[in-house]
Structure formats: C-alpha cells, structure tokens
Amino acid sequence: MISYPTILRFENFWIVIKLALCYYAHVYTIRFTKQADKAIRKIPRSAARLIRDKLEQIAADPIARRSDVTQLINRPGYRLRVGKWRVIYEIRNDEVLIVVLKIATRGSIYK
C-alpha cells in the first residue's frame, strides 16, 4: 500500500514536469509586415483562415519538418504553400518571433 506522502511526491513530480514542458515549449509570436497584413485582408476568408491555421501550427513547433514548407535558396526565410497561395516568412529564434513578409499567389510571390 502506498503511503500518503509518496502520492504527494509523485503528484508534485508531474507538476514539475508540466511546468518544465511549458517553459521549454515556447510558442512563437506571429507578426505580419504591412504588406503581408494588407494581402491577408484582401484574399478570400477561407484561404486567410487556412493560412492563419498553418502559421499557428508553425508557431507551435517551427523546427518540425513539413512537406509544405521549404527553405528559400537565394534569400533568408521560408516558403509556406497553402493551396494556390504562398507565404514568405522568417523565423527569428532570438526574439521567439515569426515574421510574415509576403503573401501572394504562386505566380507573383517571387517578383
């Protein structure tokens, strides 16, 4: 039979583990540039919602490998593919921040 103090210590252990996970699992803040904010307001609501959902997933775990995210070659940052829309963003690890630089369709994003 387990004594009362042992149960208390076991519960405290899990509280400490949960607090440690919350401390180390930083959720990145998402900021839009003026250009990206203007673009997301103009696109259809369903596409804007999908883009926001994908960005929130990335903010929760920016290191995870995703098939719809590609690192850019000729400039710093990443490209997120959401249907026919493309999102160019940067991850600033020192500020725990994701900066969305540009949102546009596939044909006009790289101009």
Q: What is the mean pLDDT of residues 59-63?
A: 86
pLDDT level of residue 25 (50, 70, 90 thresholds): low
Other Cβ atoms within 10 Å of 70 Cβ, number: 12
Torsions phi, psi for 24 (to 5 deg): -85, -15
Domains in the chain, start-ordered, CATH in brackets? 27-105 (3.30.2310.20)
Predicted TM-score (pTM) of this structure: 0.74
pLDDT at 37 over 80: yes
Q: What is the mean pLDDT of residues 66-89?
A: 93
In 3D, which of 49, 50, 60, 43 has the Cα closest to residue 81?
A: 50
pLDDT of amino acid 20:
52
Whether the CB-CB separation of 69 and 59 falls below 8 Å is answered with no
